[in-house]
Homo-oligomer: A and B are copies of this chain.
Amino acid sequence: MSDARASPEAFLQMGREILAKQPFSGLLGAELTALSPGQVELQLPLRDELKQQHGFAHGGVVSYLADNALTYAGGTAMQVPVVTSEFKINYVRPALGQRLVARARAEATGKAQSVARCEVYAVTDGVEKLCALAQGTIVRLGEGG
């Protein structure tokens, strides 16, 4: 990810083009709703295919969204191609609702890595309920091994 001097609209558009190149994000239906250097909002409408046997969104869906949001936050903070090196997630409430919203931000960014945090909310009729908190490390592509 590059060019922090881009206009806000162009920056968001750049982020959407990256998302469009991720077939898995397309399969799940993720939408990039806000992006600026070091900050991101990703949303995911919840449909039955994304659920597990108890009726709420599968943990893997929530962790996908957190992982991707962390990567955007760290990548736009570092302005280089990145991958998520590691993260941890705490699920604090079943992800029940019409959509998920993940917001992440880079908290500490250096040359080689960025540490970011993310919250995931389940939204029902406009009411957001916190359902997961994540924290992870984003590194330059190729630095992981």
* A51 and B58 alpha carbons, distance in the complex (Å): 19
Interchain CB contact under 8 A, B144 and A91: yes
- Given the known interface contacts A27-B50, A61-B24, the answer about A107 and B86 at a Cβ–Cβ threshold of 8 Å is no
Interchain CB contact under 8 A, A93 and B145: yes
Q: Does A126 contact B (CB under 8 A)?
A: no
Residue picked from A90, A137, A144, most chain B C-beta under 10 Å:
A90
Interchain CB contact under 8 A, B143 and A112: yes
Write the A56-84 contact mask toward B (1 if CB under 8 angstroms, else 0): 01111101110110010000000000011
- Given the known interface contacts A108-B93, A144-B93, the answer about A88 and B24 at a Cβ–Cβ threshold of 8 Å is no
A117 CB to nearest chain B CB (Å): 7
Q: Does A4 contact B (CB under 8 A)?
A: no
Q: Does A18 contact B (CB under 8 A)?
A: yes
Write the A129-145 contact mask toward B (1 if CB under 8 angstroms, else 0): 01001010101010111
- Tell me the nearest residue of chain B to A110, going by C-beta: B145
Q: Does A39 contact B (CB under 8 A)?
A: no
A8 CB to nearest chain B CB (Å): 22
Q: Does A49 contact B (CB under 8 A)?
A: yes
